[in-house]
Structure 1
Amino acid sequence: MKILLIGATGTLGTAVHKALGDRGHEVLTVGRGGGDLRYDITDPVQITELYDRAGRVDAVASAAGDVPYKPVTEMTPEDYLAAFRGKVLSQIDLVRQGVPHIAERGSFTVITGILAREPIPTGSAASMANGALEAFVRAAAIEIAPQRINAISPTVFTESLADYGDYFPGMASVDLADVAQAYVRSVEGAQTGQIYAP
């Protein structure tokens, strides 16, 4: 399959790229500062340009999304809007604009996260963004069929515990390789409207 991978140069994107590449897929990597194609998916115009440049693909997989982390009392309306634009609207627009550009039975895979179900202090924007995306995935699945859409919703990565483990007390971590396999399942499988929580 020809797969468009957004956020391909990040920690997760690198693992997903390897997993998909190892299975023989042609992976077109996309990032703001690196990759085969350089586009910022928070800009709808750049998403349009990305699809025009990439041509027809079999799947779109996103491992990108930015949200601010602050206590609720320090968050501003602009912070929540930044989270919405950086993680929710950007990935929704990948789907909205992508429907005409993927195969008839192609798929979209977006990234959410455990904070949709297990909130942490300073993570209200991430919880909001992840929950919104997961609701969107369920709704979009019934409209875009036979094309498919799923979300990957991992907990903290084992490889990132040194940096972020203190924010997730008592929560089990997940290896990046296992998260990457959830992307493989979404891309190669038959399910839609699913929230995979590796």
Structure 2
Amino acid sequence: MSTDLTGKVAIVTGGSRGIGAAVARRLAAEGARVFVVCRSRLEEAEALAATLGQGAQAMAADISVPSDCERLIGDCVRIAGRLDILVNAAGLGPYRALEEADPEHYEAVFGANVRGALCLTRAAVPEMTRGGRIVHIGSRLAETPMPGTSVYAASKAAVSAMVLALSQELGPRGITINAVAPGLIETDMTAETLGSRRAAIEAATPLRRIGQPDDISGLVAFLASADAGWITGRTIRADGGLL
């Protein structure tokens, strides 16, 4: 099985840190030219892009803004001449109990996680004239939500439904679209959650450890490869075996 991506052009949103940064590194290591996209951490994205080789570049865009999605895709295609892979790891994940969530919270979470995913996909598809691979980052919470995660879990469930529906439209164009649904992954964003709960989380996980960004990046690289050409419309959980 090979994940060789030599000659491919990839966009990775949410690419300045965490899962997105790990995906950018992995795709570049497999030979892809990667555009590392962030909303506000451009210096970090530029620093990462400088280490990747293959003509990697950093770009800034807020995927919750439709015009930003169109500009991002257009700029990357003008620079690189093509687009083969879109990995969307950008999103918002604040948890709030029902009485603490309000319409502003709904709009922020759904704007980034759902509208952003749709707008990126809509902008990218016309540029994937040779076929393509689209991978969105979902969440296991879409299937197994916990108290306080209703808005976030609902937004990620929408991503899974979107992927399944769009696979029917994009298949005839030679474009696959899938999602990866991680469990808890150790990043700077989850440091507070892990804190004193690390031992309990490890004990509850069949693989007895905390997930790492590279546990996700390898799966994404596979879904972006030629060997995954018969997989589309699927949300694949990567959570260490949690029930």
Under a length normalisation based on structure 2, what TM-score does the superposition of the two structures give? 0.76
Q: Does 1:48 align with 2:70?
A: yes
Match of 1:183 among 220, 234, 237: 220
Query: Which ranges in structure 1 are unaligned for 5 or more consecutive residues?
Result: none
- Check the 8 A contact 2:18/2:187 in 1, yes or no: no
Give 3-state SS (helix, strand or coil) of 2:182's partner.
Answer: coil
1:159 and 1:92 map into 2 onto residues whose CA distance is 26
Query: What amino acid sits opposite 2:184 in the alignment?
Result: V
Q: Name the Cα RMSD after superposition.
A: 1.9
Aligned to 1:154: 182
Q: Which moved more, 1:107-116 or 1:94-103?
A: 94-103
Aligned to 2:167: 141
Q: Which moved more, 1:132-141 or 1:171-180?
A: 171-180
Give 3-state SS (helix, strand or coil) of 1:57's partner.
Answer: coil
2:213 and 2:75 map into 1 onto residues whose CA distance is 30
2:192 and 2:185 map into 1 onto residues whose CA distance is 10
Q: Which moved more, 1:72-81 or 1:121-130?
A: 72-81
- Check the 8 A contact 1:110/1:151 in 2, yes or no: yes
Shift in CA distance, 162/41, structure 1 to aligned 2, threshold 3 Å:
closer
Which deviations, in whole Å up to 9, do the C-alpha atoms of 1:49-83 show, x marking residues without a partner? 11111112111111110143111122112211221
Residue 195 of structure 1, CA deviation: 0.8
1:125 and 1:171 map into 2 onto residues whose CA distance is 24
Residue 16 of structure 1, CA deviation: 0.7
Shift in CA distance, 87/186, structure 1 to aligned 2, threshold 3 Å:
same
Which deviations, in whole Å up to 9, do the C-alpha atoms of 1:130-153 show, x marking residues without a partner? 101001000000101121100010
Q: Does 1:59 align with 2:85?
A: yes
Q: Which moved more, 1:165-174 or 1:70-79?
A: 165-174
2:215 and 2:159 map into 1 onto residues whose CA distance is 21
Aligned to 1:129: 155
Q: Does 1:97 align with 2:120?
A: no
2:177 and 2:102 map into 1 onto residues whose CA distance is 32
Aligned to 1:107: 133
Shift in CA distance, 65/159, structure 1 to aligned 2, threshold 3 Å:
closer
Match of 1:6 among 13, 28, 34: 13
Instruction: Give the % identical residues.
Output: 26
1:100 and 1:52 map into 2 onto residues whose CA distance is 10
1:8 and 1:62 map into 2 onto residues whose CA distance is 9
Shift in CA distance, 171/41, structure 1 to aligned 2, threshold 3 Å:
farther
Residue 19 of structure 1, CA deviation: 1.1
Q: Whose radius of gyration is greater, 1 or 2?
A: 2
- Check the 8 A contact 1:67/1:82 in 2, yes or no: no
Query: What amino acid sits opposite 1:156 in the alignment?
Result: L
Aligned to 1:29: 36
Residue 39 of structure 1, CA deviation: 1.2
